[in-house]
Chains A and B, each alone.
Chain A
Amino acid sequence: MVKEYLTVSEVSGPLLVVNGVTGVGYEELVEVELASGETRPGKVLEVSDKAALVQLFGRSTGVSAFSTKVRFLGRGLRLALSQDVLGRVFDGLGRVHDGGPDVVPEEFRDINGRPINPCARDYPSEFIETGISSIDGLNTLVRGQKLPIFSGAGLPHGRLAAQIARQARVPGQERDFAVVFAAMGITFEEADFFIGDLRAAGALERAVLFINLASDPAIERIAAPRVALTAAEYLAFERGMHVLVILSDMTSYCEALREVSASRKEIPGRRGYPGYLYTDLSTLYERAGRITGREGSITQIPILTMPDDDKTHPVPDLTGYITEGQIILQRDLHRRGIYPPVAVLPSLSRLRDKGIGPRKTRADHPNLANQLFAAYALGKEAEELALILGESALSDLDRIYLRFTQAFEGRFLSQGEDENRSIGETLDIGWELLRPIPEEELRRLSPEEIEKYLRGAQEEEEGG
């Protein structure tokens, strides 16, 4: 049942206070009609027996206390869904944005979704080959994982995300991922690059785009990831598709949330972000996963830019606490021309251990990865030492590690934007890099692995 009021008593930022409402529910969808006849959506943030506090998904310009009508629609914001959303472009609220016809809905879904029962979840464990060594080899992505990219202004996260979207596949399965892309507050060029890349790869027909650019209303961003994830859930769990969701940029999303919180005069948490930011973000990120007995999956790659490259900023910090790892891009590597500039040590894939090893990638993968991590960490320390004391002061062993590190960054991390390395190639490069390191140093490897991959290979080389 729709209720209409003409009782706006206060407008501040994106918020309206509507007096004298009855029977209005929390989180209810609101339609605000200006004198011009233009309508704007909003939702109820708080309601009492006297008034409702409404947050507009957009600007409040033009709203007036006398002529603005506010309608309460008795339900939450919903998205019209059918298979035909594929190949289409929508705005941050899920309205058609490509000039095409409206989607003929098969069903409507509330954009907030509902929590997956932990008993219904299926643990993600299928290896996704992205063709990128620093990810596949060391911080492996699996199907149904939520693995964000922590980036910084000017770093090539867009290119990396596009490369992942282009190359990702599960070995042995020819089905491609469907891509759901939500742009939140990114520039036209950034969005255009990504879309162009999908088009060039012929992937646009199996993509759904939700676009809220930097120039679009900031508050609309609060709905955008929810709308996108609702589409993803529909495609994954009703249509059995494997969906890759890319959300960019989560920092802009959080800033919009902060703006609303500030307008409400809530007690600010760290750096002005609201205290419920963790809970809010988790209701997005937890919408990734697999469900027992259902065909599809949702793999999430949220992208966020760390203000000042600071990992302890609330947005990356809270994200890292919720997601199943993080891929961190580093300015220093980028400056040295290394693409993709993945800082592998602080990066992490929490699901790696379930997705690699015998029958998944290769039996030698887990120990090799651990050994590469350990050796690279020592090499980085040696590098630091060399900066302070000069290389001549390094011990022989330190020098070996230093050379390892240079080779590792040059050959393992570094690869072309179109270079699609198989997991076998990635692991083989890893073994080759370890060869100069004395055996007794390689404590993460089993004696059999040393025998098979290091000594064995050496003899072969010598013999041949």
Chain B
Amino acid sequence: MAGRIVKVAGPLVVADGMEDARMNDVVLVSDEELVGEIIELKGARASIQVYEETAGIAPGQPVVTTGRPLSVELGPGLIESIYDGIQRPLNVILQKTGDFIERGTAVPALDRERKWPFEPAARVGDRVGAGDLLGTVRETVLVQTRIQVPPGVEGELVSISDGEFTVTEPVAVLKAPAGETAVTMIQTWPVRRPRPYRRRLSPNEPLKTGQRVIDSLFPLAKGGTACIPGPFGSGKTVVQHQLAKWADASIIVYVGCGERGNEMTDVLREFPRLKDPRSGEPLIRRTVLIANTSNMPVAAREASIYTGMTIAEYFRDMGLHVALMADSTSRWAEALREISGRQEEMPGEEGYPAYLATRVAEFYERSGRVETLGGGEREGTLSVIGAVSPPGGDLSDPVVQASLKVVKVFWGLDDKLAYRRHFPAINWLSSYSLYLDNLQDYFEEKIASGWTALRTRAMTILQKEDDLLEIARLVGRDSLEPSDRLLLETAKMIREDFLHQNAFHAEDQYTSLEKQHLILKGVVDLHESSAAALERGISLKTVLSVPERRRMSGIASLAEERLGEMARTVEEALRAVENLVEAAAGPVAGSTGGEADG
């Protein structure tokens, strides 16, 4: 039975006669069958957010419910796909409707024709339940998709196949008291409902991003959450792209939410060319893209975040490390605000609906390190990184504030740094990571003992620099003590030679933790031995003009393979300073005394 449209206001359509519909049902609007979702139901009157352009839609036209909530298709074929906000494959739409997107195009998310090689891993007679492994499909060189029993299904395996199948052909049959269930490689799952897992664990391993300021100073844990707020042009998208490229996750889900079309094109063109530093394979082979660019329908923006999240959870449930980037969560919140405004709901702060903070929290809460369902004690992680775009860069913005309440890592972008082209423009004084304690053991044991102390030393120098610069602004730099001026030089080295990292430089864009440790330790050790030299009466000028010191500044952009060479450069610089001290000590023995500088 069809309802009738009674009102059209932008992406919001109101329909009457919807007796058979339920809250959050997907509906088809008008004869063009535009996809929408019921977001409010009062008696038989439904408010519907329509995921497509509504121009020309008129009262009186029909609305039919599908009886299902907004769901995604999960199965082989997700990797390397680019979807719109409600999981329609944009590359297939391109084939169907050309360069400009037409509305009302119905295309399944997963290819129905393509056959996948299914290798069974379970045996007839096995008792299996949700999350148990049935078999695997080699989807790309980088991803072996596990075909698992979907949540809510269990029984005894009465048959299992071996060979090539489409996603809709059964690969196994389970028998339960209630009857037999044929299992295919495809699952559908409602996007607004988190997928289940056995239990949540606390994160204990860093998500290695290859970004020095992140890994060494403000690390994110696998299964953790981070947000990157900043004004336009401060580097949110570049950071997100860098993470999508270099983070050591098995699967990347990148949600372009209300941002530029060209940024998605950039990913589409670059990722097939860029090689994963660990496997040497093209990065696209582990990537799923969701694109609702700013000129695409606004209601689908609201959905895009959940579409991405559900796909990410699906891979997490296979026991993989998954990272989801959402650029930008502000556009999602604005979509929420726009729909809420059209519904004439009571506005909260800045016009956002009162439930904004709850929605933000629910979103980030879908991250985590978990023990998955099914046998084999698998652990999966889902890390979530959200960009936030506050008006005028003002951090009191409700979306920033709601995010800060839940995320554990804050990378604060600073437009002053961006103006100087210090990138990534992550402010080292205001940013923080609450995972330092969780990750301490990992860094100390797996990378280098003394890691934590080194970080503290570096942070202390940066903090001290800020204080000293404040003083220097009042009295002039030359009136500072030599030891303070040395500190300023060291802080500059940390900033320029370590924290600054050019995303567009072939060698500089990614740095292993080993190399990060080597550089940072080199700079801090050099500082300490130089400070010792000052105490022995050697002049600042002499210490700073050691030629080996200057050579250290280039090492960040040396290739990873040249780690040995970098270590030598650091050693030589340290030795050169020590030699100064020895040379100064020499004449004392010969009892001439006096200043070493001569």
Contact = CB atoms under 8 A, between A and B. Distances in A.
Interface in B533-582: 550, 553-554
B291 A269 contact: no
B420 interface: yes
Contacts of A318: 391
Interface in A202-244: 237
Residue among B99, B341, B550 with max Cβ neighbours from chain A (10 Å): B99
Contacts of A326: 233
B296 interface: yes
B59 A322 contact: no
Given A350-B233, A385-B473, A27 B56 contact: yes
A23 B31 CA distance: 13
Interface string B292-322: 0111101000000000000000000000000
A166 B331 CA distance: 37
A321 B389 contact: yes
B294 A373 contact: no
B100 interface: yes
Interface stretch (A154-162, A279-287, A418-426): A279-287
B102 A114 contact: yes
A47 B550 contact: no
A317 B233 contact: no
B1 interface: no
B477 A398 contact: yes
Interface in A327-379: 345-346, 348, 350-351, 353, 366, 370, 373-374, 377-378
Nearest to A394: B476
Contacts of B14: 48
Contacts of B265: 118-119, 121-123
A49 B7 contact: yes
Contacts of B261: 115-116, 118, 121, 286, 289
Contacts of B583: none
A283 B295 contact: yes
Contacts of A385: 473
Contacts of B474: 389
Nearest to B493: A443
B294 A377 contact: no
A318 B298 CA distance: 16
Interface in B473-502: 473-474, 476-478, 496-497, 502
B341 A324 contact: no
Contact of B341 (A23, A75, A115, A267): A267
B104 interface: no
- Which of A26, A269, A292, A388 gathers most chain B CB within 10 Å? A26
Interface residues of B, number: 77
A115 B296 contact: yes
A291 B261 CA distance: 11
Given A269-B351, A320-B232, A278 B294 contact: yes
A25 B351 contact: no
A270 to B, nearest CB: 6
B575 to A, nearest CB: 20
B293 A118 contact: yes
Given A76-B55, A275-B337, A346-B415, A389 B476 contact: yes
Contact of B391 (A270, A346, A351, A377): A270
A118 B291 contact: yes
Contacts of A314: 391
B183 to A, nearest CB: 32
Contacts of A346: 415, 419
A49 B6 contact: yes
Contacts of B91: 119
A237 B5 CA distance: 37
Contacts of A173: none
Contacts of A23: 58-60
Given A49-B7, A117-B90, A294 B99 contact: yes
A46 interface: yes
Contacts of A463: none
Nearest to A110: B55
B70 to A, nearest CB: 21
B396 to A, nearest CB: 13
B334 A275 contact: yes
Contacts of A49: 4-7, 59-60
A377 B60 contact: no
A19 interface: no
B264 to A, nearest CB: 4
Contact of A27 (B55, B298, B550): B55
Contact of B101 (A117, A123, A373, A444): A117
A28 B350 CA distance: 31
Given A47-B58, A115-B100, A117-B90, A443 B476 contact: no
Contacts of B422: 374
A432 interface: no
B554 A447 contact: yes
Contacts of A266: 341
A324 B294 CA distance: 13
B269 interface: yes
A112 interface: yes
A260 B97 CA distance: 34
A348 B233 contact: yes
Interface in A9-62: 22-28, 45-49
Contacts of B98: 117, 120
Given A27-B55, A118-B291, A322-B294, A276 B338 contact: yes
Contacts of B99: 116-117, 120, 237, 291-292, 294
Nearest to A388: B473
Contacts of B60: 22-23, 49
A123 B270 CA distance: 10
Nearest to A264: B9
A324 B237 CA distance: 12
A279 B298 contact: yes
Given A123-B269, A275-B337, A314-B391, A321 B232 contact: yes
B347 interface: yes
Contact of A289 (B102, B262, B338, B421): B262
A115 B295 contact: yes
A27 B13 CA distance: 13
B512 interface: no
Contact of B59 (A48, A311, A350, A395): A48
Interface in B229-271: 231-233, 256, 258, 260-262, 264-266, 268-269
B504 interface: yes
B504 A117 contact: no
Nearest to B82: A119
A263 interface: no
Contacts of A311: 392
Given A118-B90, A321-B389, A286 B260 contact: yes
Given A116-B99, A267-B341, A395-B476, A48 B393 contact: no
B10 interface: yes
Interface string A56-95: 0000000000000000000110000000000000000000
B105 to A, nearest CB: 11
Contact of B54 (A26, A395, A398): A26
B576 to A, nearest CB: 15
Contacts of A27: 54-56
Given A49-B7, A267-B341, A286 B293 contact: yes
B57 interface: yes
Nearest to B91: A119
A23, A49, A237, A377: most-surrounded residue (chain B CB, <10 A) = A49
21 contacts: A26-B8, A46-B8, A47-B58, A112-B55, A115-B261, A115-B295, A117-B94, A117-B97, A119-B94, A124-B262, A275-B338, A282-B258, A286-B261, A289-B261, A289-B262, A317-B391, A353-B504, A373-B421, A374-B421, A377-B419, A443-B553
Given A116-B99, A282-B258, 6 more contacts: A26-B9, A114-B101, A120-B100, A269-B351, A317-B392, A395-B476
The 6 closest A-B pairs by CB, nearest first: A312-B392, A282-B294, A27-B55, A377-B420, A286-B295, A120-B99
